[in-house]
Structure 1
Amino acid sequence: MKTFGLLGKNISYSFSKTYFTEKFKKEKIEAEYHNFDLINLKEFRDVIKETPNLQGLNVTIPYKQEIISYLDDLAPEAKEIGAVNTIKVNGNRLIGYNTDYIGFLESLKPFLKPHHKKALILGTGGASKAVAYSLQKLDIVYKFVSRTAGENKWSYEDLSEEIINDHSIIINTTPLGTFPDTEKYPDIPYKYLNEEHLVYDLIYNPNITKLMAMAKKQGATVTNGLKMLELQAESAWKIWNK
């Protein structure tokens, strides 16, 4: 039987296992999907060695960038993004892809309005790189926000009324607010948000995060990352089967 799975750390909550198990059942696909919950990525070689008929893997926090050094080749978009969330096992070769950007780009499009020209990306991890790549494709100017300022990067303390007004898209790529720590949220000045803002939280559990609730209270349009996950999962499935 073909085997697929998810690489990550503390991933018992994961969307992918439920999604693919249901997909296999519904579409009568002879396959199984496992969570490979790794404390250290060095255990990855054991996963490859000890999993018969492994065809492909999804990769999640915190290994989307670190995994690259374990792979034989990268698809062009994964190379450009600098992060991998999908691995195809091709004989003895491991090839890295990024389908996060497809999921994000296609799920963002229905919300975009003519005034959505500039974005703030909260966080600088693997997912933020796929988001930045998608925004480039859409000709949306972006700036990262992190705990410390740097090149093309503001700190949370830097976020003024002017900056918030000038950036009508805000995307959270940090894990802040994910179950079970649902009371946490990124430290942005919510009072400056208004109905012109689109706030996209990549988190999908809970369905409405604290960030989304606080932004909605200010009149902003909000959405979570569930559609992105579904779209990136289907893109991964196509890669594994081509």
Structure 2
Amino acid sequence: MCSIKKNRFGLLGKNISYSFSKGYFTKKFSAMGFNDHTYENFDLQDISQFKSVLENNPHLKGMNVTIPYKEAVIPYLDELDSQAEQIGAVNTIQFTDAGLKGYNTDAFGFKNAILPYLKPYHTQALILGTGGASKAVAFVLDELGVSYTFVSRNPLKNQIGYSDLREHIIREFLVLINCTPLGTFPNIEESPDIPYRFIIKKHVLFDLIYNPEKTEFLMKGEAQGASISNGLRMLELQAERSWEIWNDS
């Protein structure tokens, strides 16, 4: 007889019908023969609904968190892993007897996904976007000794705007990382508003987006001879790290 108390996992986000995580973990559970494991989307219009998710789903073992709740979920947690606390964003929640503990596995995923592309001359990066994912990217670049500048539509102190991206800046910053949602399916014609004509072969363009496989941002960089990578490998790595955390409870 099948037990009601399944091992339930899920993704917390907004407008997440496209979710990588659900497909990835459902396939993983099937391949491992874990018939009592399920993974589902919790598509919330507001983070305040998270409380009712917890109340109505007592058998949850772990969750991933995506846009736009990587920062907003933090007040609902009982504890933060030291790295998540430093980054200021959470993408993995571990359910324990002591409560909810937040982790950031985006940093692990991004670091191991971008490392194969970096050369000694990749010493400066532009981070396009300032959301929760960009915080993990900045954390990793600090670890790697790569200096960076945030590019924002509404730049704050120590950030720059897209209109500031002149030729000398693009030529100086040889790593360009898209942390915005621009170009995500179905809006595949969109891309960050940067002067792509100044990109050279030494550039690396990394897009956290994985659908489509090759965004407009990446195609424009590739046309200039740059090395490119989408966010799929990063997602796979962070998902596996999440799985390790959930199984360590």
For Structure 1 versus Structure 2, the TM-score category normalised by the shorter chain is over 0.9
Letter matched to residue 22 of structure 1: K
Q: C-alpha offsets along residues 125-155 of structure 1, whole Å, 9 cap, x if unaligned?
A: 0000000000011000000000123222110
What residue identity is the alignment partner of 2:197? K
Let me know the Cα RMSD of the aligned residues: 0.8
**Deviations for 1:158-184, whole angstroms, at most 9, x for unmatched residues?**
011111011000000000000011111
Deviation for aligned residue 1:52: 3.1
Residue 28 of structure 2 is aligned to residue 23 of structure 1: yes
Counterpart residue number, 1:152: 158
Which amino acid in 2 is paired with 1:201? D
Match in the other structure for 2:114:
108
Matches of 2:156 and 2:47, distance apart in 1: 28
1:123 deviation in Å? 0.2
1:217 aligned residue = 223
1:238 equivalent in structure 2: 244
Partner of 1:11: 16
Cα distance in 1 between the residues matched to 2:72 and 2:157: 22
The normalised TM-score by structure 1 is: 0.99
Q: Distance in 1 between matches of 2:58 and 2:185?
A: 32
Per the alignment, residue 177 of structure 2 pairs with: 171
Could you tell me how far apart the structure 2 residues matched to 1:92 and 1:76 are? 17
List runs of 5+ in structure 1 lacking aligned partners. Answer: none
Counterpart for residue 193 of structure 2: 187
User: What is the deviation of 1:28?
Assistant: 1.3
Partner of 1:200: 206
- CA shift digits 1:32-84 (9 cap, x unpaired): 00100001111101111111321000000000000001111100011110000
1:92 Cα deviation from its structure 2 partner: 5.4
Structure 2 segments unaligned to the other structure (5+ residues): 1-5
How far off its partner does 1:25 sit? 0.5
Say which SS state the counterpart of residue 73 (structure 2) adopts: helix
| Distance apart, 1:114 and its partner CA | 1.1
- 2: CA distance, partners of 1:68 / 1:149: 24
Q: TM-score, normalised by structure 2?
A: 0.96
How is 1:18-57 mapped onto 2 (pairs within 5 angstroms)? 18-29=23-34, 30-57=36-63
